[in-house]
Each structure stands twice: as structure tokens, then as C-alpha cells.
Amino acid sequence: MDRNLFIGREYEIRQLEKYRDSKESEFVVVYGRRRVGKTYLIKEFFEDTYDFKVTGLYNQPKQIQLKNFSLALLSYGAKFKAMPSDWLEAFEELKKLLKGIREPRKKIVFIDELPWLDTRQSDFLAAFEAFWNGWGAQQDDLMLIACGSATTWITNKLLSNKGGLFNRAARRLYLKPFTLRETEQYLISRGIRWSRYDIVECYMIMGGIPYYLKLLDRELSFFQNIDQVFFKEKGPLWDEFDHLYETLFGKAKAYLRIIEALSQKKSGLTRKELIAESGLEDNGFLTEMLKNLKDSNFVRAYNTFGKKEKNIVYQLADYYTLFYLRFLKGKENLDEHFWTHYMDNPAKSVWAGQTFEQVCKDHIVQIKQAAGVSAVLSDISAWSGSSESGKAQIDLVIDRRDRVINIGEIKYAVDEFTIDAEYEEKLRRKMRIFREATGTKKALQLLMITTYGLRRNAHSGLVQSQVRMDDLFSWTGEV
């Protein structure tokens, strides 16, 4: 394996090496959002060399899945006269195939998109359990890798399994999207050298999803690339939205009601507000859907400062989804150069400012490091409320155990941000309302997070610490 092929994934590579080299059989579950690079990681790590590999087929019945599995067995040298008629027989043939390998080494079995094999009334999971529990786990030379984008199936059927696989999938690797630093490294590796301002805007649209980033053309500018990928007729990501949710979640229409309700309010909704906006019933299925959306990183859940857990706020956190619902849904006849022409539109500035807040929340480790509080145990939240002095909303609250609260103000600007007299008074009023409404006795320190920093003037002294866009690209030393 050539490590130079990888951007990030240091932790995952080390874990795969450890599991491959162990002296016992390993069952490894690799999961994460669609397009995040799960299959690529396994393919490149094992250099596309396996003792058996099969990929589940999306939305196909049991017999087609079985035939696909059987043909894969034959391609790896299995010998049987009749195709297996059920999954128990199919896994028995896999066992025979693996037993026939005499080399003293780890045998590698890779089942990609495993959730798609578990079709209705197929008894796939029971056969899979029998294969691993009854034989695989007893070996000392087998590495079984299960991979899938359907995070809900992975978490519910494998990782939280209460039956035969309970605590059997001890090795789990969750692949996250790239950070800003990793996104920049990936773009450079593909010959794309944009300003960090453009990279941040690209992140606001695509997130750190490697497949989306791979679609970018180094010969085009950032704006031209967005036009080509999203707004050109039949562009590569024009219809990604429907595929994304259909392949990740069963009963996708119900999930989309949550997503669309959350997209209407940037700061998010409480469960009660979400029920009112979506029309969904307040029941266990809603709880399950919210958990699945959180597990898949499509929704962020957080407490508002000083509130109890029952006041959790749910916020839409997937960048592609936010962009699609804002600029693409229901707009089939847009100009193919829409994003270039939209460059200076005030509505784009509003979107960028709101989405930059999301980027900051996804890089809170970098923010704490740049603010010099990375070693201080902290609770992260947001806040909105009122007092006799009025109403206020705070983008980011870092409640530190050293009796200090950082009040985070996030501003996205094309140049240094200037605090004038009016804005200084707005900030002072916001902090006053926060203290009055929460009754906190802790010291309040204003933290400004901007693209290019603050312009020093008579009003900037109110700010105790700053974080700039470049700081979000820093390496935290965590892998």
C-alpha cells in the first residue's frame, strides 16, 4: 500500500494494519456517509487483492443478490454444481472456498454494501451470523470486512445487534468527511490550488466528501467548477439528492420531511418545533429517525446553554443538502452559469454567512486550539434568549471549566472585519443580555471568528481573542 495515495485516514490505516496483523480472526465494520471513501480506503489498503469480495446490489431481490454472490464465489475459484438456493448454502460455499486456501496468512473477505444484501424475508442476517459465529470467529487467520453506506442498517443490525452478533463486531471504523485541512491537501494533490477563501466556500457546498471533490476540474475556477458540477444540464451532482437519501435510509420520504423542516431555520428546531413544522407524529419512529440522522452526521444535536437535555436543538448539518435545498430544488431551468452570475448577490452573502457558522462548528477543535483553550475541558453549545435588556442570539458558547465562558461571534467577510461604534454596542448588549438571562457568574470573554481577522480600531478592544479562517486549516495533532 502506498500511503501517499491517502489524504488523512491515518488512524483508520493504523487500525487496519493492526487488525490484519493480529493473531486472531477479525470482524471489521467500515461505515459512513455515501461517497465518503469507504470502498476506496479498503481497495487501496489491500491493493484490490482479496480472497473473496462481493458488492451488494441496490434494491434487488433475494434471488438476484444470491446469484451475484454465487458468481463472485465462482470467480474466486469456488466449485459447486448448483447455485446456492439460500444464504445458508451461500455462506457454506464461502466457508469451503476459504478452507481450501493453504497459505499461512490472513484470509481477507470484503463484503461491500452489505446492507443491500439483507433484502426482505431473505434470512440473510441469520446466515451471516451463523457463518461468523459458527465458524469465522473460531479461526485465527480470517479478516472479514463489512462495509456499507446505509448507516442506519449498520448501527441497528450490526453494531447494536441484540441477537447472535451482539458484541461480535468489536472492530468498527467510522469514516468522517475531510476537514478543511484535508480538503486543501486533497485539492492540491489533484493540481487544484485555490485561495483558502475559495476552499472554504467549496466546503460550504460539498463538505469534505472526497467523491464530490474528485469532480472538480483543475483547469476551471472555483465558480466555473460549481456551475459545471451543479448547474450545467445533467451535471454530475444535479440528481444526487434523491439517490443520497434513498440509499441511506428506509422510508426516505419521512426522513426528508425532517430534513426539509430543519432547512427552514438555520439555528435548528427543538423536537416540539420539528413536529409542528414537519407534521410527523411524536413517537418512537421519530426518535429512531433523529438518531439515524445524527449517526450519519446529517443532523447536529446540541443543547442550548443552560437548558436541560429535553430542550435539545436539531440542526441540519450536511452541506450538500443545505446547498441543494437552497439553490437547486425545484429549479430545473436555472442558468448554466448561475453560480458565477450569483457571485455578488446579497442572498449568496446571507447563505455564506450562515453556512460559515456550520464550518466553524465542525472545526471546534481547531478553534479551541487557536484560542489557546484546547487543554481546558469545555462544553460547546449555542444560545438564544431574552432579558429586560432585550433579545439576543449567540452563535457559539464555549463554557470552560476554568470559570470562563467564551462568547463566540462568527463573521464571514471578504476582507478584515471592522467593528464600528454601532456594532460594538450590539456586542456589549448581547453579552449583557446573556449574563442577565442565564445568571452566570463566570467571566465572559468575546471570541471573534472571522475570515481575515479584525481591523484594529477604537472599537476592536472589546474582543479578547480572535480566530481567523487560516486557523481552521490547522493540524490539531489528532489522528
Q: Are the C-beta atoms of residues 476 and 8 closer than 8 Å to each other?
A: no
- What CATH number has the domain bearing residue 74? 3.40.50.300
Give the CATH number, domain containing residue 287: 1.10.10.10
Same domain, 349 and 403: no
Task: State whether 103 and 189 are in the same domain.
Answer: no
Query: Are 276 and 232 members of one domain?
Result: no
Domain boundary among 358, 373, 400: 358
Looking at residue 427, which CATH number applies to its domain?
A: 3.40.1350.10
Alpha-carbon distance of 459 to 283, in angstroms, equals 51
228 and 277 part of one domain:
no
Residues 435 and 352 in one domain: no
Query: Are 14 and 159 in a shared domain?
Result: yes
Q: Is residue 245 part of a domain?
A: yes
Q: Give domain status of residue 479, yes or no.
A: no
Q: What is the pLDDT of residue 414?
A: 93
Torsion-angle region of residue 96: left (phi > 0), alpha (psi -120 to 50) or beta?
alpha
Quote the domain boundaries for residue 343: 180-238+328-358
Number of domains in the chain: 4
Cα 398–Cα 348–Cα 187 angle in degrees, nearest 5: 75
pLDDT at residue 478, as a whole number: 61
Q: Does residue 116 sit in the same domain as residue 203?
A: no
Q: Give me the pLDDT at residue 81, please.
A: 85
Tell me whether residue 212 is in a domain: yes
Task: Look at residue 68 and tell me if it is in a domain.
Answer: yes
Q: Note down pLDDT in tens along the chain; length 479 residues.
A: 566 668 889 999 999 999 999 999 999 999 988 899 999 999 999 998 999 999 999 989 999 999 999 999 999 999 988 999 999 999 999 999 999 998 889 999 999 999 999 998 899 999 999 999 999 999 999 999 999 888 788 888 887 766 666 555 568 899 999 999 999 999 999 999 999 999 999 999 999 999 999 999 999 999 999 999 999 988 899 888 988 888 888 788 999 999 999 999 888 999 999 999 999 999 999 999 999 899 888 999 988 887 665 678 999 999 999 999 999 988 777 789 999 999 889 989 999 999 999 999 999 999 999 999 999 999 998 898 899 999 999 989 999 999 999 999 999 999 999 999 999 999 999 999 999 999 999 999 999 999 999 999 999 999 999 999 999 999 876 65
Considering the domain architecture, whether residues 167 and 288 belong to the same structural domain is answered as no
Which residue in the block uniquely carries the three cell numbers 450519519? 296
List residues bridging with 108 in a β-sheet: 143
Establish if 39 belongs to a structural domain: yes
Q: 247 and 209 in one domain?
A: no
Tell whether 131 and 225 lie within a shared domain.
no
Asked whether residue 317 falls in the same domain as residue 264, the answer is: yes
In a domain, 155, yes or no: yes
| Residue 478 located in a structural domain | no
| 47 and 143 co-located in one domain | yes
* Residue 86 maps to a domain: yes
133 and 168 Cβ atoms separated by less than 8 Å: yes
Q: Look at residues 100, 88, 176 and name the one whose alpha carbon lies nearest to residue 132.
A: 88
